[in-house]
Structure 1
Amino acid sequence: MAPTHEIAHVGHVELRTPDPEASARFFTDVLGLTETAAEGDSVYLRAWDDYERYTVKLTAHATSGVGRVGLRAASPEALARRVAAIDAAGLGLGWRDGDAGVGPCYAFHDPDGHELEIYWETERYRPPAGLVPALKNQAQAYPGRGVGVRRLDHVNYLAEDVAGSTAFVQDVLGGAPTEQIMLDDGTVSGRWMHFTNKSYDLVYTRDWTGSRGRLHHVAFATDTREDILRAADICLDKGVFIETGPHKHAIQQTFFLYVYEPGGNRVELCNPCARLILAPDWNLITWTEAERAKGQAWGLKTIESFHTHGTPPVELPADG
């Protein structure tokens, strides 16, 4: 089944952090994002080639985790249709005023409890003097700072029920799966969903703790694969914890580096980011438990913390 193209892309993500100053330094000095606004306990940051005013809303909080994720609708009409579908599913939370250049948005949650919003009206970023690009088809001048990530790529949620949450993304939001992991007992433990020709925008993977509403990681795209290698050196010099990589995923074939920002949230740097799905009749790729046990594309075993670390953290029983 092909996506309906009613959702254009993932527009922005709110991350919560118990160490807002250190997290802000990570996103600006290490990743190279630019601050565009600050309000209350939140600071708004943008990747240099995202066209909207902000990419990340970083909010001081008692613990780490993900707040509301924004999805931009493909048109005002698509927004109205998706809001009606969300209401019919009984998961709507109502209309809200958007943050930092975003117009009215409709808040809702998925079956696992993650909060999202869908919107149409948005403010194009207007760079100040010093950040005006030489090329008029570029949102902002390249900052030349840190990794210099280009844009937000995807959000990977943890979920108690992957099949149920991704069925919601497909049936209510109009997405479609491109790849999935199916365990020997028939349980879907991971599913990659897309909204347009990009091979994935939202990912749901099984939360082995049985918790709901948690984050696995948020991912940012770099220009080149070499940027990932350079990012590893930058993180090493800056004392940023590197969880795994650089290496290449088998699923989606992404070259990756996973790190933890100071607040505890996992961040992926990826290139090539999501591939293009040009086939309108794409066949869902299913990976078996035995195939995934082989690890990543070049043989690197999947690190144990990939199955245990999520945010916010949860307490596990001693026999866990």
Structure 2
Amino acid sequence: MPQSALRHEIAHLGHVELFTPAPEQSLEFFVNVLGLTENGTDGDSVYLRTWDDYEHHSLKLTAAATSGVGRTALRASSEEALNRRVLALEERGLGVGWADGDTGIGPTYVFRDPDGHELELYWETERYDPPEHLRPALKNQAQAYPGRGVGVRRLDHVNYLAQESEVNGQFICEALGGRVTEQIRLDTGVISGQWTHFAQKSYDIVYTNDWTGSNGRLHHIAFTADTRDDILRAADIALDSGVHIETGPHKHAIQQTFFLYLYEPGGNRVELCNPTARLVTAPDWEPVTWTEAERARGQAWGLKTIESFHTHGTPPVA
């Protein structure tokens, strides 16, 4: 199948599982600071949703011995697309196999990227049916605005740490039909970061090189806020709530995202962003490549990249 024909095989990022060694405090953070809504439990896991994601949940928060990322779910664009991607994954020897889906989704095909992160593909899904007290006034909205905390609108992207970003970005493109929109090339020629997307939103899955040389770790997950003012207000909410602000509010040069980075109580980095990435409408888009010198200038308005941005990931390593 030509690469151009693959581009619509994956519809979007569905949800992410996050591990936390502080489940009660993490739940408090996501519900009362970010404004997510609980939508069921399963064993040591709590399902949480943003107010405008249409599916059952956006985040699966799982109690664990340490922090980090669990399984990331991608929704295929059809049952036929799902089966085609399963064959492609099996040909690459990275498939784990079929499994019963989590609450809210049908059968899933579990696989790993070259770095060892666990992902799953699915097609069947349950659209969220809000209880009466969360029913929106507008029928084209998934849930009433909660009016709590930051009130993030939807899950935006996941940024993995990896030994080799380019290898994993190539996997996303060749096996799943993604496309690289932007990347960083060091003076050595090494690609140290790649931003990939599946549809018109400019990035869904990001890989950045892990300076520790470890496998399967998380840099951050990100949620979208409606406006830049929401990001500024989020900084005040975090301050009043005793939440660690790592860096921002500010604007990235790469992808031009207005951002704020926080550490949730379990130790995982969470980004709040607006806009929800740019739209890439050009069918013949060529990756924008940033040089090491350009990245050394810092963020869009000159803020230097904080050192912990290169060193902090989850789970922690010695």
% same residue: 73
Say whether residues 1:101 and 2:100 are aligned partners.
no
Normalising by the residue count of structure 1, what TM-score does the alignment of the two structures yield? 0.98
Pick aligned residue for 1:250 from 253, 277, 281: 253
Which one-letter code corresponds to 2:198 in the other structure?
F
Normalising by the residue count of structure 2, what TM-score does the alignment of the two structures yield? 0.98
Query: For 1:199-218, what aligned pairs fall within 5 Å after superposition?
Result: 199-218=202-221
Look up the match of 1:126. 129
**5+ residue gaps, structure 1:** 316-320
Aligned length: 315
Alpha-carbon shift at residue 300 of structure 1 (Å): 0.0
- Listed one character per residue, the Cα deviations across residues 23-62 of structure 1 (whole Å, up to 9, x for unaligned) are 0000000000000001110000000000000010000000
CA distance, structure 1, for counterparts of residue 145 and residue 299 of structure 2: 32
CA distance, structure 2, for counterparts of residue 28 and residue 223 of structure 1: 17
CA distance, structure 1, for counterparts of residue 176 and residue 281 of structure 2: 20
CA distance, structure 1, for counterparts of residue 68 and residue 76 of structure 2: 25
Look up the match of 2:63. 60
Alpha-carbon shift at residue 273 of structure 1 (Å): 1.3
**5+ residue gaps, structure 2:** none
Alpha-carbon shift at residue 241 of structure 1 (Å): 0.1
Which one-letter code corresponds to 1:44 in the other structure?
Y
Alpha-carbon shift at residue 142 of structure 1 (Å): 0.2
Look up the match of 2:188. 185
CA distance, structure 2, for counterparts of residue 149 and residue 97 of structure 1: 29
- Give the secondary-structure state (helix, strand or coil) at the position aligned to 1:24: helix
Look up the match of 2:91. 88
Alpha-carbon shift at residue 100 of structure 1 (Å): 1.4
More off after superposition, 96-105 vs 243-252: 96-105
CA distance, structure 2, for counterparts of residue 278 and residue 39 of structure 1: 39
Look up the match of 1:197. 200
CA distance, structure 2, for counterparts of residue 100 and residue 80 of structure 1: 21
CA distance, structure 1, for counterparts of residue 277 and residue 109 of structure 2: 27
CA distance, structure 2, for counterparts of residue 185 and residue 111 of structure 1: 22
- Listed one character per residue, the Cα deviations across residues 158-212 of structure 1 (whole Å, up to 9, x for unaligned) are 0001111111101101100000000001100000000011100000000000000
Pick aligned residue for 2:285 from 282, 290, 306: 282
Say whether residues 1:152 and 2:165 are aligned partners.
no
- Give the secondary-structure state (helix, strand or coil) at the position aligned to 1:14: strand
Which one-letter code corresponds to 1:292 in the other structure?
R
Say whether residues 1:308 and 2:308 are aligned partners.
no
- Give the secondary-structure state (helix, strand or coil) at the position aligned to 1:243: strand
CA distance, structure 2, for counterparts of residue 266 and residue 158 of structure 1: 12
Deviating beyond 3 angstroms after TM superposition, the runs of 4 or more aligned structure 1 residues are none
Say whether residues 1:42 and 2:72 are aligned partners.
no
Pick aligned residue for 1:297 from 283, 300, 307: 300
CA distance, structure 2, for counterparts of residue 47 and residue 7 of structure 1: 21
- Give the secondary-structure state (helix, strand or coil) at the position aligned to 1:130: helix
